[in-house]
Structure 1
Amino acid sequence: MPRLEIDITVTSISALSVGAGGSAGSLADKSIVRDGWGRPIIPGSQLKGKLRHAAERLLNSVGQPVPNGFDDPQTNSLIHTLFGAGGGDRAPLRFRDLVCVRTKGIKAEHLSQIRPSVSINRRRGTAEDARLFFQEAAHEDLVYRAAPAIAGELEQLGHAALLWGALRFTERWGGGGSRGLGWMESTITLRWDGTEQNETQLESALRTVLNQKGEA
């Protein structure tokens, strides 16, 4: 079966907040995820989740079936082929962390800032009482990379092209989108069975797979 490898480089246009779910060792109520060297990262789990969501939107836009949630093994969908399904049906691909590789000469511990925020009442459009919190965010203009970020085996180039399209469709990462966080630019290199594919080849393969009806 052909081997797929995708190198991904993303550059942050605005500050990025990929939360670790806690605030250990920080003044922030929500800290960012870092690797063992203290560098900010975009976890492979977020990469996989973002691409799955974008791929579902692409398939849904052309009337192709998408699963009803993560544990829906009954729906015959290309999403299961790429990302796996419940019941032990594992994904054929591995998704690696994107690690901050360009730090502008700043030490790892100084690559983020604490940003104050307030919760907004959606009905009234005003700040909630006693809802001030502090969110850590990595600085803008940092570069995150993994090579390869995605690797595994797939049967068809069109399946790989759907991942490529989903990546191009994804511009926001992490949390705090309503506060302007998480805008990113991506550079993608895709190798199919050892051969780098250009945009023309990938666009053609993507059109082919999107024109299929209900075929996983």
Structure 2
Amino acid sequence: MRVTVTFHGPFRVATGTGRPGIDDTVDRGDLLPASSLKGLMRHSAERLLPDLPQLVEAVFGGPRCPTAWGWEAARFPDEPVVVTRARVSLDEDSGAARRDHLLFGEEVWARTAEFTVTQFGPLPQSDGPPLDRDGHLTVLACAAAGVHSLGAVRRRGLGWVQCTPEDPGIGEELITRFMTLAEQWRRHRDA
């Protein structure tokens, strides 16, 4: 499955380390890592299927079963631009900038990126109804389409995105399949 990410502004997936003059850096060799993409999609699936953690685990893996899917890091068709942005921390009482709280962080500007999710192993046996490859791809595609932000400082305007899966693409048929699959798993759970 291929997913296109369209950026509505800058984003930052920080490394957790700084360097002289920069408090928050990005990994210029891996701006949007595979592990971040998998985590975003898993979180989206958990939001879409809050009462079906077994279904999410069957697709994304967990302690009892590995996933059959592999994520690759995002590829950028156009060269992304990394810039430095200053931030201040505000005092809650006065609303003024706090002393010694000026931070500099890198952020990335890009138009689009692409990544793929590929089956690399056998589909695991699930604790619920049979889950074939189409069922897995249905959950993965809907989870990808449910991702609308990524990276750090999302509440302050960074990382707003639209994710568009292909093979399968989002449409009425796929959404109906997703809803039917979820209902089958609920009936199985409640039986």
Question: Deviation of residue 120 (structure 1)?
Answer: 4.2
Match of 1:14 in 2: 9
User: Structure 1 CA distance, aligned partners of 2:159 and 2:144?
Assistant: 15
Match of 1:170 in 2: 147
Q: Which of 31, 37, 41 is the matching residue for 1:51? A: 41
Question: Deviation of residue 125 (structure 1)?
Answer: 7.8
Q: Which of 71, 85, 88 is the matching residue for 2:62? A: 85
Distance 1:215 1:32, change over 3 A: farther
Question: Deviation of residue 59 (structure 1)?
Answer: 0.8
**Maintained 8 Å contact 2:142/2:170:** no
The alignment covers a number of residue pairs equal to 177
**Maintained 8 Å contact 1:93/1:150:** yes
What TM-score do you get using the length of structure 1 for normalisation?
Answer: 0.72
1:80-159 pair list within 5 angstroms? 80-86=57-63, 89-103=65-79, 111-120=81-90, 124=93, 126=95, 127-139=97-109, 141-146=110-115, 149-152=116-119, 154=123, 155-156=131-132, 157-159=134-136
Unpaired runs of 5+ residues, structure 2, are 124-130
Task: Give the letter aligned to residue 190 of structure 1.
Answer: D
Question: Deviation of residue 43 (structure 1)?
Answer: 0.7
Question: Deviation of residue 28 (structure 1)?
Answer: 1.9
Q: Classify the secondary structure of the residue corresponding to 2:49.
A: helix
1:51-70 pair list within 5 angstroms? 51-60=41-50, 64-66=51-53
Distance 1:81 1:137, change over 3 A: same
Q: Which of 136, 153, 161 is the matching residue for 2:138? A: 161
Q: Which moved more, 1:93-102 or 1:197-206?
A: 197-206
Q: Does 1:201 find its partner at 2:173?
A: yes
**Maintained 8 Å contact 1:113/1:137:** yes
Match of 1:30 in 2: 24
Task: Give the letter aligned to residue 74 of structure 2.
Answer: L
Compute the RMSD of aligned alpha carbons: 2.4
**Maintained 8 Å contact 1:41/1:144:** no
**Maintained 8 Å contact 2:7/2:112:** yes
**Maintained 8 Å contact 2:3/2:166:** yes
Distance 1:59 1:130, change over 3 A: same
What TM-score do you get using the length of structure 2 for normalisation?
Answer: 0.81
User: Structure 1 CA distance, aligned partners of 2:76 and 2:13?
Assistant: 12
**Maintained 8 Å contact 1:159/1:209:** no
Unpaired runs of 5+ residues, structure 1, are 1-5, 67-76, 192-196
Match of 2:165 in 1: 188
**Maintained 8 Å contact 1:34/1:41:** yes
Match of 2:126 in 1: none
**Maintained 8 Å contact 2:3/2:144:** no
